[in-house]
Structure 1
Amino acid sequence: MSQKVILSADSPCDLGPELQRRYDVHFYPFHILLGEASYTDSVDIQPDDLYRAWRERRLLPKTAAVTPLEYAEYFRPWVEAGYEVVHVSIGSALSSGYQNCCVAARSLGHVYPVNSCNLSTGIGLLVLRAGELIRQGMPAAEIQQTLNALVPCSHASFVLDTLEFMRAGGRCSAVAAFGANLLHLKPCIQVHTEKEGAMGVGKKYRGSMETVLPAYIRDQLSAYRDPVPDHVFLTHSGVPENWLQVSRKAVEEAGIFREIHITRASCTISAHCGPGTLGVLFLTKS
């Protein structure tokens, strides 16, 4: 009889409660630091709380990864009960979470960490595939190997309406933010899996987000051959409903995907990009 496999992921996978239940995923929340207080991502603090703290008190949120000890205590009950655990982490270029998870895995055994080299539902796409493989009865070690090979096929990008949060956090200069706002530019941020999740600026769009988002989505979907038709995510950090509607319509018009999921980004992701950010995320076959 094959050993039971537990599926786990860092909270920034942004899958949302429906998919979490469907694929029986356990989330380990990252830490959110706001002023002198520490919170648990999307448990006792929500993204809108972060935005309110910045606008009202000029408190900029910070994030902190799960420590090796915290991971070990989280995994231990499953391991001692005879389970194997597959845990999918946020990209190692973005956080120390994966390295910390590996430390815990070595101390316990029977834990198989995966470096997603990604963020948000770019992680979530790998988690969904892991859930499908668990249902097929694949052992944890083979799931880890399969996901490692799939990492370059998970494509994540986002368009930002404003660079306010990124400028405040030191991730772009005040001059660059001012220039983008002045010219009504909406930069596309690409996640580079070959650089373990490091991000870079891609195409810069001009105009309102209602105009930019459909163009951005068409560009992303046409940039890659052989998209996997099972799932596509529209993940956002808090946007108006009409932005979601025009984005969903653009995906539907492409006629590729069986399931279109709209999910809200966790505090970990929202703390860095701020409100008004939306991305399209999907897998390709190669």
Structure 2
Amino acid sequence: MIRISTDSTSDLDYLYKEKNIAIMPICVVLDGNMYSDGVDIFPQDIYAHVEKTGHLPKTAARNTFDYKEFFTELTKDGDTIIHLAFSSGLSTCCNCAIEAAKEVGNVYVVDTKSLSSGCGLLVMKACDLLEQGKTAEEIVAELNECVDKVQASFIVATMEYLYKGGRCSKLSSIFATALRIMPSLYLKDGKIAVGKKYMGNILKNADKYVLDTLKKHNKYDKRRVFITYTEGTDERIVQKVEDVLKANSNFDEVLRTHAGATVTCHCGKGTIGILYIDEELPSSEE
């Protein structure tokens, strides 16, 4: 039997259980203690820590030994594993998983070059292909062809977490806050880059972000789109994104999921994105 697994950064919420997807929790370091994303630490814990201390917790990759234990357990009954890994451009998770797979055997590792439900899109595609009766080799080949077609972007309500995480300067943060500038972030070559900037509050700009994204990435695979957002995001914003998305596209499925520890640590409360597979991604968001 073929089994699909992924890192907890895929942000698939209820779909993990529904699709029988095995999860490797990413580590979050808080006050010197190590926690497992989605097991014993959640976004609200991160918000509470930042509010109390003014400092962001750190995310930490699983090591080769952790992945070896994980894969050994999954393959003990003879199953073949296809593991969709968190971007190698953002973490050592993928490389550690590859090394562990070599030792365990019967494990394929795909570098998604993405995070959050950008990874999740490839996980769901793997599940689709599995249901179609594809072999492990066929599934992996199709996934690798799709990796660079994933459109993964978010709009960020505040620069606070980006500044605290070292992704922008204090001056940039102050300047952006004073002028009420909100950046969009996107994945390029497996790394986070800054895209178009919007002025005003996120409720005002949610529709612009959706329309800009659909215009730029308009050759989409209509199978599904994710609306992924951090805990605490105003429901009016989420609903507006969904309404504009449905009115201006024809996706078969529009799926909402909450962002886990990784996106929360980097972007903070009020972050929301739309993510889907596009056939022709441009080389730049600018």
Name the TM-score class by shorter chain: over 0.9
Which of 4, 8, 18 is 1:7 aligned to?
A: 4
Deviations, residues 209-228 of structure 1 (Å, cap 9, x unaligned):
11111100011011123211
- 1:213 alignment counterpart: 206
Alignment-mate amino acid for residue 60 of structure 2:
A
Whole-Å separation in 1 of the counterparts to 2:27 and 2:69: 16
- 1:89 alignment counterpart: 85
Which of 40, 44, 63 is 1:44 aligned to?
A: 40
Alignment-mate amino acid for residue 82 of structure 2:
V
Alignment-mate amino acid for residue 180 of structure 1:
A
Secondary structure class of the residue paired with 2:108: strand
Secondary structure class of the residue paired with 1:227: coil
- 2:219 alignment counterpart: 226
Alignment-mate amino acid for residue 12 of structure 2:
L
Mark the runs of 5 or more structure 1 residues left unpaired by the alignment: none
The RMSD of aligned alpha carbons is 1.1
Offset of residue 169 of structure 1: 1.5
Mark the runs of 5 or more structure 2 residues left unpaired by the alignment: 281-286
Offset of residue 58 of structure 1: 2.5
- 2:256 alignment counterpart: 262
Alignment-mate amino acid for residue 4 of structure 2:
L
Task: Indicate if the aligned counterparts of 1:13 and 1:120 stay in contact, CA closer than 8 A.
Answer: yes
Question: How many matched pairs?
Answer: 279
Which of 250, 264, 271 is 1:277 aligned to?
A: 271
Secondary structure class of the residue paired with 1:32: strand
Whole-Å separation in 2 of the counterparts to 1:186 and 1:58: 21
Whole-Å separation in 1 of the counterparts to 2:75 and 2:38: 26
- 2:24 alignment counterpart: 28
1:1-286 matches, within 5 Å, as 4-17=1-14, 19-192=15-188, 195=189, 197-238=190-231, 239-286=233-280
Whole-Å separation in 2 of the counterparts to 1:171 and 1:225: 29
Secondary structure class of the residue paired with 1:49: helix
Whole-Å separation in 1 of the counterparts to 2:132 and 2:249: 28
Whole-Å separation in 2 of the counterparts to 1:44 and 1:21: 18
Whole-Å separation in 1 of the counterparts to 2:218 and 2:266: 30
Offset of residue 199 of structure 1: 1.4
Task: Indicate if the aligned counterparts of 1:24 and 1:131 stay in contact, CA closer than 8 A.
Answer: no
Task: Indicate if the aligned counterparts of 1:161 and 1:276 stay in contact, CA closer than 8 A.
Answer: yes
Deviations, residues 128-187 of structure 1 (Å, cap 9, x unaligned):
000011112212122111111100111101111101011012111000011111111110
Secondary structure class of the residue paired with 1:229: coil
Comparing 73-82 with 4-13, greater Cα deviation is found at 73-82
Offset of residue 42 of structure 1: 1.4
Task: Indicate if the aligned counterparts of 1:35 and 1:59 stay in contact, CA closer than 8 A.
Answer: no
Offset of residue 21 of structure 1: 2.7
**Percent of matched pairs sharing the same residue:** 33
Residues 216 and 151 (structure 1), Cα distance of their counterparts in 2 relative to 1, 3 Å cut: same
Alignment-mate amino acid for residue 97 of structure 1:
C
Secondary structure class of the residue paired with 1:246: helix
Offset of residue 244 of structure 1: 0.7
Secondary structure class of the residue paired with 1:228: coil
Whole-Å separation in 1 of the counterparts to 2:38 and 2:11: 10
Deviations, residues 1-49 of structure 1 (Å, cap 9, x unaligned):
xxx10100000000111x2233221111000100111111011111011
Whole-Å separation in 2 of the counterparts to 1:249 and 1:217: 10
Whole-Å separation in 2 of the counterparts to 1:8 and 1:57: 35
